Amino acid sequence: MYNSKIAGIGFYVPENVVTNDDLAEYMDTTDEWIQERTGIKERRFAKKHEESTTSMAVEASKIAIERAGIQKEDIDFIVFATLSPDYYFPGCGVLLQRELGIQKTEIGALDIRNQCSGFIYGLSVADQFIKTGMYKNILLVGAEKHSMGLDFTTEGRGVAVIFGDGAGAVVLQPTDDNDKGVLTTKLHSDGSKAEELALISPGAHGGYFHEDKEEKFGFDVTNTKLGDIFITQKMLDNKFHTPYMNGQAVFKKAVQKFPEVILEALDEVGLKSTDIDLLVPHQANLRISQFVQRMAGLNDEQVFNNIQKYGNTTAASIPIALCEAWEQGKVKEGDLIVLAAFGSGFTWGSALIRW
> Which residues contribute to the site for ligand ACO (CB under 6 A)?
29, 33-34, 37-38, 116, 157-158, 161-162, 197, 245, 247-248, 250-251, 254, 284-285, 287-288, 312, 342-343
State which residue, 11 or 163, has the beta carbon closest to ligand ACO.
163
Q: 352 near 270, Cβ under 8 Å?
A: no
State which residue, 248 or 299, has the beta carbon closest to ligand ACO.
248
Q: Please identify the residue of the shown chain whose CB is closest to the bound ligand ACO.
A: 247
Q: In whole angstroms, what is the distance from residue 216 CA to residue 194 CA? A: 16
Task: Write down the number of H helices and E strands in the chain.
Answer: 12, 13
C-alpha distance from residue 40 to each of 14, 83, 190 (Å): 17, 21, 28
**Residue 162 phi, psi (nearest 5):** -85, -35
Extract long-range pairs of 49-52: CB within 8 Å, 24+ residues apart: 51/14, 51/145, 51/165, 52/86, 52/145
Q: In whole angstroms, what is the distance from residue 166 CA to residue 60 CA? A: 9
Q: In whole angstroms, what is the distance from residue 68 CA to residue 218 CA? A: 50
Catalytic, 116? Answer yes
Catalytic, 312? Answer yes
State which residue, 85 or 343, has the beta carbon closest to ligand ACO.
343
Write down the least CB distance from residue 291 to ligand ACO, Å. Answer: 10
Q: In whole angstroms, what is the distance from residue 141 CA to residue 122 CA? A: 8
State which residue, 116 or 143, has the beta carbon closest to ligand ACO.
116
Residue 38: name the closest of 276, 337, 273, 317 by CA: 317
State which residue, 70 or 255, has the beta carbon closest to ligand ACO.
255
Q: Which of 282, 285, 306, 323 is catalytic?
A: 282
Q: Which of 116, 146, 238, 306 is catalytic?
A: 116
Write down the least CB distance from residue 28 to ligand ACO, Å. Answer: 6
Write down the least CB distance from residue 311 to ligand ACO, Å. Answer: 10
Angle between helices 31-38 and 286-296 (to 10 degrees): 30
Write down the least CB distance from residue 180 to ligand ACO, Å. Answer: 30
Q: In whole angstroms, what is the distance from residue 72 CA to residue 77 CA? A: 11
Write down the least CB distance from residue 134 to ligand ACO, Å. Answer: 31
State which residue, 173 or 313, has the beta carbon closest to ligand ACO.
313
Q: Which of 20, 238, 285, 312 is catalytic?
A: 312
Write down the least CB distance from residue 157 to ligand ACO, Å. Answer: 4
Q: How many C-beta atoms surround the C-beta of residue 327 within 10 A?
A: 12
Q: SS3 breakdown of the chain: % helix, strand, coil, rounded to 5? A: 40, 20, 35
What residues are annotated to the active site? 116, 282, 312
